[in-house]
Chain A
Amino acid sequence: MWRYAVQKLILAIPTVLAVVAFVFVSIRLVPGDPAVIMAGDFADAATLDRMREEWGLNRPLPVQFGVFVGNLVQGDLGNSIRSRQPVLRELGSRLQVTFTLALGSILVTLLIGLVAGIASAVRPYTVVDYTSTVVSLLGVSMPIFWSGLILIVIFSLYLDWFPTGGVGTWKHYVLPSVSLGVFSAGVVARQTRSAMLESLATDFVRTARSKGLPPHQVVLKHAFKASLIPIITITGLQFGRMLAGAILTETVFNLPGLGSYLVTAIAQRDYPVIQGIVMVFALTFTLVNLVTDLLYPLVNPQVNQ
């Protein structure tokens, strides 16, 4: 197990470096002089020179990248052009909002996706299965912002159960989490159904049944356990999509997270902030992929070999 984990950790290092290089190069593809973009069209030559010096824009690109990585390791993502504050400080509190939302959404996804998927597989080609399939399809086809608006209308404006937006208590996260989680629940339900159908048809499940084990034990202890690898894989992938989806959900529910800040930063052309947020998102995807890989041997010891 430890050897496998260390192997995966070592393999993740070039991926992290590739992510950092990709984001660094992407932001430098912005057409025009970065100093003019940051200082504004009416900045004088002295200000532009100072900007170039301050941001190291007058140095060769590989040197700029080296300095950037060095600063990144020390937790320095530069300063925001608009607020003049360190980007890392700006992202700090917003990071918490986005991750709370992502965790809430993944809970909703797993709850709905697993229950619907298992129910479909246990009773295939019945009303339960068809209902679950239709609901999954609707979930996948429904735009995140639209489900969010509908939830606001029903549960905030008419029933007055939850706030329409903002942060404060756990109640502020319920509707955004449901809105974002439902989208991925359909995907997880489809994958769970497919994996469970395969497991339920295997010899060891037939043996468990013939031993006289109660149906819930056969399904949950034997078949479900054997279906976990594809379910973990798809959930890991969905977590990445959720962080991207958070950009929309945060905008709909006025949550002060990384997603809504990214949209503002793009409108203001605040490139250090854009770079910082995309970097945080991209590194989180890499981390989630790593965690997914590390979970495999826990559910199936054969993966170690």
Chain B
Amino acid sequence: MSTGSRVESAAGRERQQRPTARALKRFRRHRAAQVGLVLLLLLLLAGLLAPLIAPYDPNVTNLRLRLAPPSWEHWFGMDHLGRDLFSRVLYGARISVLIGVISVGIALLGGMPLGMAAGYAGGRVDRVLSAVIDFLLSFPPLLLAILVIAIFGPGLRNAMIAIGISLMPVFARLIRAEVIRVREEVYVEAVRALGAQHLRILNVHILPNALPPIIVQVTLSMATAILSASYLGFLGLGAQPPTPEWGAMLNEGRRYLRSALHVSVFPGAVIMLAILAFNLFGDGLRDALDPRANRG
């Protein structure tokens, strides 16, 4: 068999597989995505099992050991109030995952109806909604989130709402584009000709077929949400003490850069690993679900 025909038969085999199986196969070949997946699973496990695996209570202070360097008893050392940093980082994973899920959930809940209405209705409704979406997109998400915090006040709950609102236009624009793409498909025309209700067409026929890019955006937005929450925490506008939020922990540690570097290094490193995990996983997912979207 020539190389050409081998390639053709391999391509033929891939075509015969179900789309999910094809995506799974492509994902398995994506090494970087697998590294991301492993890191993500570690993050999730750390968050879920924090009360079981954390060696100490994250809020119990021991002033005799304040700023103590890493040791066998305290792997990441102690912070400025003598709290075990490793335990606080583990509990921080729980808070970060929570922030990611709730913020992205808010963004989806707000962005989805907006994008669906704009994409499905078209015409004047689309023009007005698109103008609003584009206008909000012209604001950097962090500034939008800070503006919301300025209005409703600092705190973890408001930070999650603020981040959710700041991510909303991204989802609205993406869902609008996907709805426009799918609504022109022949099968949508067919169900419309059969007299299906608009809401049913949207929920049953359009939305499931627009899901792959939305799933990718959810993953990448989780990274943005966690990063934004750490920024707000660092500025004192997000989670308040003694909540073990990574950004707030780093802010507390920066006063001791000279004497106790570990207090800033560990929270910063885990934020970076978490963002890296979501970015690697999201990129891999995009390549697997929609190989045409792979831009260089």
Chain A residues packing against B (C-beta within 8 Å): 15, 18, 22-23, 26-27, 29-31, 137-138, 140-146, 149-150, 152-153, 157, 190, 193-194, 197-198, 240-241, 243-245, 247-248, 251-252, 262-263, 266-267, 271, 274, 278, 281-282, 285-286, 289
Q: Is the CB of B250 within 8 A of A289?
A: no
If A22-B135, A248-B235 touch, does A266 touch B264 (CB 8 Å cutoff)? no
In the complex, whether B152 has a CB less than 8 A from a CB of chain A is yes
In the complex, whether B254 has a CB less than 8 A from a CB of chain A is yes
- For residue A197, give the distance in angstroms from its CB to the closest CB of chain B: 5
Q: Is the CB of B272 within 8 A of A146?
A: yes
Please report the C-alpha to C-alpha distance between residue A252 and residue B231 in the assembled complex, in whole angstroms. Answer: 11
If A18-B135, A142-B272 touch, does A137 touch B280 (CB 8 Å cutoff)? yes
A243 contacts which chain B residues (CB < 8 A)?
Answer: 140, 143
Please report the C-alpha to C-alpha distance between residue A262 and residue B237 in the assembled complex, in whole angstroms. Answer: 11
Closest-by-CB residue of A relative to B279 is A141
In the complex, whether B45 has a CB less than 8 A from a CB of chain A is no
In the complex, whether B296 has a CB less than 8 A from a CB of chain A is yes
In the complex, whether B51 has a CB less than 8 A from a CB of chain A is no
| Residue in A146, A152, A194, A262 whose beta carbon sits within 8 Å of that of B146 in the complex | A262
Q: Is the CB of A267 within 8 A of B236?
A: yes
If A252-B254, A285-B140 touch, does A141 touch B235 (CB 8 Å cutoff)? no
- For residue A200, give the distance in angstroms from its CB to the closest CB of chain B: 11
Q: Is the CB of B257 within 8 A of A248?
A: no
A153 contacts which chain B residues (CB < 8 A)?
Answer: 257, 261
Closest-by-CB residue of A relative to B277 is A141
Q: Is the CB of A149 within 8 A of B264?
A: yes
B268 contacts which chain A residues (CB < 8 A)?
Answer: 143, 145-146, 149-150
Q: Is the CB of A137 within 8 A of B279?
A: yes
Q: Is the CB of A263 within 8 A of B296?
A: no
Q: Is the CB of A194 within 8 A of B151?
A: no
- For residue A42, give the distance in angstroms from its CB to the closest CB of chain B: 19
| Residue in B138, B230, B271 whose beta carbon sits within 8 Å of that of A286 in the complex | B138
Which residues of chain B in 120-177 are interfacial with respect to chain A, using CB atoms and an 8 Å cutoff? 135, 138-143, 146-147, 149-152, 154
- For residue B230, give the distance in angstroms from its CB to the closest CB of chain A: 6
Please report the C-alpha to C-alpha distance between residue A196 and residue B123 in the assembled complex, in whole angstroms. Answer: 37
- For residue A162, give the distance in angstroms from its CB to the closest CB of chain B: 14
If A153-B257, A262-B146 touch, does A285 touch B279 (CB 8 Å cutoff)? no
- For residue B271, give the distance in angstroms from its CB to the closest CB of chain A: 5
Interface size on B, residues (CB 8 A): 40
Q: Is the CB of A152 within 8 A of B257?
A: yes
Q: Is the CB of A193 within 8 A of B250?
A: no
Question: 10 A-B contacts, Cβ less than 8 Å apart?
Answer: A29-B151, A137-B276, A140-B275, A142-B272, A145-B254, A146-B264, A146-B272, A197-B296, A244-B141, A266-B149
In the complex, whether B258 has a CB less than 8 A from a CB of chain A is yes
Closest-by-CB residue of B relative to A145 is B234
Please report the C-alpha to C-alpha distance between residue A245 and residue B223 in the assembled complex, in whole angstroms. Answer: 16
Please report the C-alpha to C-alpha distance between residue A31 and residue B231 in the assembled complex, in whole angstroms. Answer: 24
In the complex, whether B64 has a CB less than 8 A from a CB of chain A is no
B234 contacts which chain A residues (CB < 8 A)?
Answer: 143, 145, 248, 251
- For residue B251, give the distance in angstroms from its CB to the closest CB of chain A: 8
In the complex, whether B295 has a CB less than 8 A from a CB of chain A is yes
Q: Is the CB of A194 within 8 A of B254?
A: no
| Residue in B147, B154, B296 whose beta carbon sits within 8 Å of that of A193 in the complex | B296
Closest-by-CB residue of B relative to A28 is B151
Which residues of chain B in 220-258 are interfacial with respect to chain A, using CB atoms and an 8 Å cutoff? 223, 227, 230-231, 234-237, 247, 250-251, 254, 257-258
- For residue A89, give the distance in angstroms from its CB to the closest CB of chain B: 21
Q: Is the CB of A157 within 8 A of B275?
A: no
Q: Is the CB of A141 within 8 A of B146?
A: no
- For residue B109, give the distance in angstroms from its CB to the closest CB of chain A: 20
- For residue A188, give the distance in angstroms from its CB to the closest CB of chain B: 13
A146 contacts which chain B residues (CB < 8 A)?
Answer: 250, 264, 268-269, 271-272
Please report the C-alpha to C-alpha distance between residue A263 and residue B276 in the assembled complex, in whole angstroms. Answer: 27
| Residue in A247, A262, A285 whose beta carbon sits within 8 Å of that of B139 in the complex | A285
A194 contacts which chain B residues (CB < 8 A)?
Answer: 295-296
| Residue in B149, B271, B279 whose beta carbon sits within 8 Å of that of A143 in the complex | B271
If A140-B279, A145-B250 touch, does A26 touch B147 (CB 8 Å cutoff)? yes
| Residue in B139, B152, B231, B264 whose beta carbon sits within 8 Å of that of A144 in the complex | B231
Closest-by-CB residue of A relative to B227 is A143
Closest-by-CB residue of A relative to B143 is A244
Q: Is the CB of B275 within 8 A of A143?
A: yes
Q: Is the CB of A281 within 8 A of B275?
A: no
Q: Is the CB of A138 within 8 A of B276?
A: yes
- For residue B78, give the distance in angstroms from its CB to the closest CB of chain A: 19
Q: Which of A141, A144, A240 has the most CB of B within 10 A?
A: A141
- For residue A177, give the distance in angstroms from its CB to the closest CB of chain B: 18
Q: Is the CB of B257 within 8 A of A263?
A: no
- For residue B291, give the distance in angstroms from its CB to the closest CB of chain A: 15
B235 contacts which chain A residues (CB < 8 A)?
Answer: 247-248, 251, 263
- For residue B158, give the distance in angstroms from its CB to the closest CB of chain A: 11
Closest-by-CB residue of A relative to B258 is A157
- For residue B11, give the distance in angstroms from its CB to the closest CB of chain A: 21
Q: Is the CB of A26 within 8 A of B146?
A: no
A266 contacts which chain B residues (CB < 8 A)?
Answer: 146, 149-150, 154, 237
